Chain A
């Protein structure tokens, strides 16, 4: 048996979570360094996974397979394809930055009640690592049930992160903010839990269907795919559609797709910036990833059946998210609506069912993770300096804190997909991929890009330019720790914007295989078709 690299990559942050939680109450700094250390070590492992992964090799690599719950037909099966491996790497890359950016977010306030034995710092960092561990397992799992377990279980630490830790600078310990935060956490949990439970019904249905057709219930993705290739697993189309809807509903809540998106602005607005990054850049990616892996591969016919509706919803997400972003007065909610718009692009790319569209979607997941992290983390630094999230409270920041303003601008430009920065490549691919099959939708979606330019540039103009507003005068520029967080992300955005080939090389074979599962080929170029 070879070394279980994937298991170790997922287990290390889990161990880190326990170790961090166990640090004594007084040793806050030890807990922080422990969390950072474990997350960096996980990143190193993820890089090793990335290096060991051979693009163009077997479909699922570094596989592990062990019996787990025989009665449910569940196996502990891990394996990564090109998309999975890049998302594992993205997760492992972002977590150290999230931890470093949130270095002081969970320092206890001046404690009014010395009796409470609440240890926020340890808890905060342990929960982040716990989320990382669960997200990594969901990207690695090739067993539907194993995926489902961690897909659901990650809600719990996420819920505590949103509800337990707000912007301290913003709150001043007042009750109204705490109520808002608790509301946001509950909304997040209920939306996702309901999605998950609907999926549970579909998971049980999948078991019943496989038990019916194969003689034994199974959740193994590979076994199901092989059985279908051999003609032994053929769902009735009504069954397949119901199961598809059950799965898709859960992923659409998580992703989030209009009209199931309303939890995201609350959750991102009320949580601290690093937690907001964790939600939108890491956790939500599980939703879009799962559409690509589970919806399309398990239920190809139903996916094609649902494509028109999903594409329309995705385009609505793009336009609606962008329009609402333009109208926001709160920086974090603005970024949240921008994310909804971007998730619309990702979903559109997935369901356009073209190579370019899906490669674009896979790249988009990675690029959106990096660009949103950069923008949101800088926004978080900005907010914590002023103690307000409202755009109207800022103005002329670039005069007092030029580095902060500059990094904010680059993050913003990445968000609006400026050519030369990484998101441009993926957005372009998604649009081209969509256009080749659904020209009308492709054209409407481009409006989203225009709106993106509007909300980003207006945001920059209102907060950074103009006369220096009261409350902004003494604002300090970025500290070394903060620059260390932002600089590598910006470097990466530039690198992948100019030279995306390493990433596309990893992602493309996986996309090709997925499309062949769905029996879709790219439409012929127009010229050739008219011949």
Chain B
């Protein structure tokens, strides 16, 4: 017996080395994400090596350049047809490069850019010891009210780490709606959630409230992550794969049957429970009823620039992920999830609108209004038509700029204790500062969906999609809750314009160019998308095809 023959008794030849698939990463196609993460890392280095004085400008430069470059990369990719003809799944089936992904990434990057402007504002708070300060705690680690904090304030510390944190969050959000397998989805979720938890805790004023908000957000967020992860495990158990296209194939029955698969596909419980849990995780991020409990507390406690960013960008990213999950992975079982989503959408619209009526704090009011809006967007998601996709994309773009602008205005109205968010303080604002009140009124009218604002175009788009998708009852509920919602938006306008200003009422701080730019962009987008929505609707239409 020859040596080789003996050898072959207990060994076998390994496949030739060149057959091991080397991970193929399409760096150009992933460049938006990579640029943002690169900028975030540079931000950390800036924090580590630059002297304290020059960090602020350094961080702003890095963030602005990073986000702008990433946006340019998104535009370049879209221009080269990756949104339409060349759409495919990159990075070994982990990240989709397609129309919806690019559209949402572009939106998130612009939202991030505007959010950087609001983060950079340093003229609103009174100077502390002769130094300009922003909305963030002097030192996050210092105990509120303790000696360390006093020392930090006296030394003029500022938390410039917020910029890299923002960039990390943006990076995670870029991947989230593009994730094309469940594990990437989970990792992206954590990547953008963790920086947000931190950012929530960093308010300069009312620090306990801010930390409480962060704690709540973190705990509930951790719960929802656990649900998501458990759901992923169950879906893996059902389909034997975590890739979207793989699961979709199994659900549709087009996958190649293996004995293992045959054993599990008989058991729909895995699929149904897994789907429900994954959807739960996403609906939590979206802020849909009954997973909305965190929204008002977190929106109220977080520093207002962070609230604005979070309210706008998280919603875009999470709805993107939800769309992809429902349209790419689970269209085959839409008869199962649609009734449930109907219920969620109806509850979300009604609860958001009705509870908002009783609110007395402007940030909580906007939080409940964001819940109601999540319900409107869900109505578009439920349509399950191509129009459903494009209308949701359009709504998200329109809504996020209104939100950013509205929260930026909230930062301006201040009294001795910082921002005056109690609604009674807003009485007579229109008499004292007509311009600020008028701008806020524009945002409120857009939220209420009055024609000639982006809110109307968006609402019309999703309701139209829902009606054509056979969900006319949802449209009627949506219209009714819009009417309820209109009541409390109008109430704020009444308060601002028709009440006499209080003698000791808050003042409107004059912002620096940063916040003014952010608000200006918000107003411009709100009106442009309201009067001339066609270009953006076309864009959303073209971007409306997922790759699987």
Seen from chain A, the residues whose Cβ lies within 8 Å of a Cβ on chain B are 67-72, 113, 115-119, 148-150, 152-153, 155-156, 159-160, 163-164, 175, 178, 181-182, 185-186, 189-190, 193-194, 197-198, 200-201, 204-205, 207-208, 211, 217
B143 within 8 A of A: no
Residues B434 and A118 in contact, CB atoms below 8 Å apart:
yes
Q: Report the Cα distance A101→B499, complex, angstroms.
A: 27
Residues B450 and A152 in contact, CB atoms below 8 Å apart:
yes
Q: Report the Cα distance A404→B472, complex, angstroms.
A: 56
Q: What residues of B have a CB within 8 angstroms of the CB of A150 in the complex?
A: 451
Could you show 30 A-B contacts with beta carbons less than 8 Å apart? A67-B534, A68-B534, A71-B390, A115-B432, A117-B432, A117-B434, A118-B434, A148-B451, A150-B451, A152-B450, A152-B451, A153-B451, A153-B452, A163-B497, A164-B497, A178-B500, A182-B499, A185-B498, A186-B491, A189-B490, A193-B483, A193-B490, A197-B480, A200-B460, A200-B463, A204-B460, A204-B464, A208-B464, A208-B472, A217-B464
B487 within 8 A of A: yes
Q: Report the Cα distance A200→B472, complex, angstroms.
A: 12
* Residue of B487, B490, B498, B499 with highest tally of chain A CB at under 10 A: B498
**Closest B residue by C-beta to A201:** B479
A453 to chain B, nearest CB (A): 39
Q: What residues of B have a CB within 8 angstroms of the CB of A185 in the complex?
A: 494, 498
**Closest A residue by C-beta to B476:** A201
Seen from chain B, the residues whose Cβ lies within 8 Å of a Cβ on chain A are 390, 430-434, 445, 450-452, 456-457, 460-461, 463-464, 467-468, 472, 475-476, 479-480, 482-483, 486-487, 490-491, 494, 497-501, 533-534, 537-538, 541
Q: Report the Cα distance A245→B537, complex, angstroms.
A: 30
Q: Report the Cα distance A277→B473, complex, angstroms.
A: 39
Q: What residues of A have a CB within 8 angstroms of the CB of B431 in the complex?
A: 113, 116, 118
**Closest B residue by C-beta to A148:** B451
Q: What residues of B have a CB within 8 angstroms of the CB of A193 in the complex?
A: 483, 486, 490
Q: Report the Cα distance A155→B480, complex, angstroms.
A: 18
Q: What residues of B have a CB within 8 angstroms of the CB of A200 in the complex?
A: 460, 463, 479, 482
B454 to chain A, nearest CB (A): 12
Q: Report the Cα distance A117→B476, complex, angstroms.
A: 42
State the majority secondary structure of interface residues on A: helix
Q: Report the Cα distance A209→B538, complex, angstroms.
A: 22
A18 to chain B, nearest CB (A): 13
**Closest B residue by C-beta to A208:** B467
Residues B463 and A149 in contact, CB atoms below 8 Å apart:
no
Residues A72 and B460 in contact, CB atoms below 8 Å apart:
yes
Residues A116 and B432 in contact, CB atoms below 8 Å apart:
yes
Residues B501 and A71 in contact, CB atoms below 8 Å apart:
no
**Closest B residue by C-beta to A115:** B432
B21 to chain A, nearest CB (A): 43
Could you say which of B450, B475, B480 contacts A204, with CB atoms under 8 Å apart?
B475
Q: What residues of A have a CB within 8 angstroms of the CB of B467 in the complex?
A: 204-205, 207-208
A137 to chain B, nearest CB (A): 11
Q: What residues of A have a CB within 8 angstroms of the CB of B500 in the complex?
A: 175, 178
Given A117-B432, A197-B483, A204-B464, answer yes or no on A153-B494 (Cβ-Cβ < 8 Å): no
Q: What residues of A have a CB within 8 angstroms of the CB of B433 in the complex?
A: 117
Residues B533 and A182 in contact, CB atoms below 8 Å apart:
no
Residues B497 and A71 in contact, CB atoms below 8 Å apart:
no
Q: What residues of A have a CB within 8 angstroms of the CB of B483 in the complex?
A: 190, 193-194, 197
Could you say which of A71, A148, A175 contacts B541, with CB atoms under 8 Å apart?
A71
**Closest A residue by C-beta to B491:** A186
Given A117-B432, A190-B486, A190-B487, answer yes or no on A208-B479 (Cβ-Cβ < 8 Å): no
Given A116-B501, A208-B468, answer yes or no on A201-B494 (Cβ-Cβ < 8 Å): no
Q: Report the Cα distance A113→B499, complex, angstroms.
A: 14
B204 to chain A, nearest CB (A): 28
Q: What residues of B have a CB within 8 angstroms of the CB of A153 in the complex?
A: 450-452
Residues B461 and A72 in contact, CB atoms below 8 Å apart:
yes
Residues A156 and B450 in contact, CB atoms below 8 Å apart:
yes
Residues A118 and B430 in contact, CB atoms below 8 Å apart:
yes
Q: What residues of A have a CB within 8 angstroms of the CB of B432 in the complex?
A: 115-117
* Residue of B434, B451, B460, B537 with highest tally of chain A CB at under 10 A: B451
Q: Report the Cα distance A59→B463, complex, angstroms.
A: 33
**Closest B residue by C-beta to A211:** B468
**Closest A residue by C-beta to B390:** A71
Residues B472 and A205 in contact, CB atoms below 8 Å apart:
yes
Q: Report the Cα distance A493→B501, complex, angstroms.
A: 45
Residues A204 and B463 in contact, CB atoms below 8 Å apart:
yes
Q: What residues of B have a CB within 8 angstroms of the CB of A198 in the complex?
A: 479
Q: What residues of B have a CB within 8 angstroms of the CB of A152 in the complex?
A: 450-451, 456
Q: Report the Cα distance A420→B477, complex, angstroms.
A: 52
Could you say which of A71, A113, A115, A159 contacts B538, with CB atoms under 8 Å apart?
A71
6 nearest A-B pairs in the assembled complex, by CB-CB distance: A149-B451, A71-B537, A182-B498, A208-B467, A201-B479, A152-B451
